[in-house]
Every structure is written in structure tokens, then in C-alpha cells.
Amino acid sequence: MLIGVPKEIKVHEYRVGLTPEAVREYTAAGHSVLVQSGAGAGIGASDAAYETAGASIASSAADVFAKAQMIVKVKEPQPSEWKQLRKGQILFTYLHLAPDPDQARGLVESGCTAVAYETVTDKAGGLPLLAPMSEVAGRLAIEAAGLALQRHAGGRGLLLGGVPGVLPARVAVIGGGVVGTHAARMAVGLGTDVVVLDRSLPRLRELDELFEGRVRTRFSTLQAIEDEVVAADVVIGAVLVPGASAPRLVSRAMLSRMKRGAVLVDVAIDQGGCFETSHATTHAEPTYEIDGVIHYCVANMPGAVPLTSSYALNNATLPFGLALAAGGIDAVMSNPHLAAGLNVHRGAITNQAVAESLGVSFVAPHTALAA
């Protein structure tokens, strides 16, 4: 199969769909790879490095989209990209369709087969292609919060870990999954006062054991969220409903009771955000203020550290990408984990959570593939 790797064009997105090392794996398996010139610049990978790995270099994205049988990206296709997709072509990337009806419509109209990293599953029921970027985003969330808390950035002027004789910041993490765990890990390491809220008692027990009492855990009720948000200096939104829009857990009314200069970091913004006042921002303009509270809602947080992120992502996506390259549609039909990742196929939405969030008809993956 001919695999295409276009350069990412989302604002301040420096990751790349395939690293040179991953390209070598594809070519060793007998596939051809076409990489847009400059696609790896954000991670310091030259065109020559890709050629050494066995890739050919294309002068433009249009050339990649026109020739490739499978497109491997990082972020969801932008309007100029989804217009270049075609029937029979496989798209393998993050999609986050639930809050993005325009992109969903564009993919449906293209007739392509779109497999989303964020809904591919594994034998344990996890989301193995979402996990590495969730790890990165969780850790970055605390770094972003620390910067936003500084007075010149509009924050309270508070040092996350405090100093002897001065209390540290209070950090509330809503969601105890991968993002929340890594955010808590970073926050604890800096010496903050951390609470993690989650609706799974088994998960709260795991976190209590993992952090050996250094993190407070609390069952996530409406009252618990309100209590912790109002008391917090930093709130990390780390909730996830696979494929679906994130639930809005922090209301505008709660926001009005928060400390002036407190910081909200909405890591769930890719799925629409978990704060009522959230809207997506970019690395160019990452924050905004509402009711005196600083919001950080960058929709591609791991793009800030593309070297780490690209390699972490490729480590996870490689076996699935190789399976798709080897078997095409048949690989999706025979592999339940890839079938879970199928979001769009030949004009149909094939993920139930996505369809329900968008308010459109759902076609089961195997029904769509057999049509």
C-alpha cells in the first residue's frame, strides 16, 4: 500500500504522522511511503532522514492526498484537507468528530474510510492510541496552569508548590483516568495540594494506593465538584466519554464563585470541553478570561512538545497502522479494535457515540463495511 504523510497545518501543530523510524517499519513490511517535504521539520527530521528510511518526498500536500491509498496524520483534517479525501482512501488520525459537525459532514461527503485514533480499543477495553497523548496532555496541563497563575498572565500570582511558610496552590483534577492521573502526578511532584474527583470507586481506590495518600480522592457528585472548584486555585478538566461530547461539569454559576485569577485547564476541549465557559484556543493565543478566571483551552496541547509527542504517538499507532496497510478494509472487518476506531465509511457515521452527539443516523461498522 502507498502511505501518505502530509505536513500538519493546524495552528502551531508541529507533530508528524510518521517518524523516520516508523517509515522504516512500513517500508520493511513492503509498503511505499510518500512524505510531504518539511513534514518532519517540527521534530527535527529532515527530508533526507525520511529518504534514508525509504520514503519518497512529495513537494506538496496535494500530491500526497492525490496519490496515497492511506493518509496517516496527527490532527483532524482541516477543511482544505478533507476536500482532498476520496472514496476508497483510508484516513488514520485523531478526528474528535462529536463537537465538529462540519468536519463530520466533510468526511461523509468525501466517501473516505476514517479510522480515529481516539476510539481504537485494546483487549483490556482501553484506548491505546489516545493514552500516550493523554499522558502528555495531563503533564502539560500542570505546566500550563503554573504559567497562567503568574500575575503577568492574569493569574493570582501564586507559585504552584509554594515555599516554606507559604501554602501551595490547591489543584482539583476532575477525572481520574490517564489525563487526570498524569496531571496529579505532576502536581504532587511540585508539592501542591491535590484532590482527584471521579465517579468510579475502584479507580479512586487505585489512585489512593498509587499516590500513597499524597493525593486526596473524592467521589464526584455535583456538590463535591462545586466544593472543590470554588476552593481551588487550579482546576484540571480531565473527563472523557469515548467518542462522545464531554459532559459540562463546571457551570458559569460555579465560575462566578471561584477565586479571581484562578485557572481552568480544559484538557477535554477536543471533545467540546467540560466547562460551560470553554471554547477552543490555540498555542498562539492559549488563554482568555471570564469572570476573572483564566481559561486555558488549547485543543492540541501535545503539539507544544512535538518531539516527545510524535514518538510517543508513533510507538502506539505503529502496529495498528501496519495492520491497516496490510489488510485495508479487511483489517477493519477482522479486527474488533480497529472496527471500534472506524468513525466514517463511505458516507456513513459508524461510531454510535459520535452519531448520537451529532444527532445523525448511525450505521454499525460491519454493516457499513459489508455494504
306-327 and 20-28 helices, crossing angle to 10°: 20
Q: Is 337 a catalytic residue?
A: no
Closest to 31 (Cα-Cα) out of 68, 83, 81, 74: 68
Query: For residue 66, what is its C-alpha cell?
Result: 492525490
Neighbouring C-beta atoms of residue 168, cutoff 10 Å: 18
Range 247-252, long-range pairs (CB < 8 A, 24+ positions): 247/274, 248/273, 248/274, 248/275, 248/276, 249/174, 249/225, 249/274, 249/275, 250/174, 250/225, 250/274, 250/275, 250/276, 250/277, 251/276, 252/276, 252/277, 252/290, 252/291
Q: Within 13 Å and on the Cβ side, how many CA atoms surround 362? A: 15
H helices of 270-359, where? 306-327, 329-334, 336-341, 352-358
From the candidates 31, 96, 295, 345, which is the catalytic residue?
A: 96
How far apart are alpha carbons 245 and 371 in whole angstroms? 28
Q: Are strands 170-174 and 90-93 parallel, antiparallel or unpaired?
A: unpaired
Residue 345 falls in the annotated catalytic set:
no
Which residues make Cβ contacts (< 8 Å) with residue 59, sequence separation at least 6? Answer: 36, 37
In terms of DSSP H, where are the helices of 232-335? 252-255, 306-327, 329-334
Backbone CA torsion sign across 170, 249, 297, 243:
positive
Among 182, 270, 295, 337, the active-site one is: 270
Catalytic residues: 96, 270
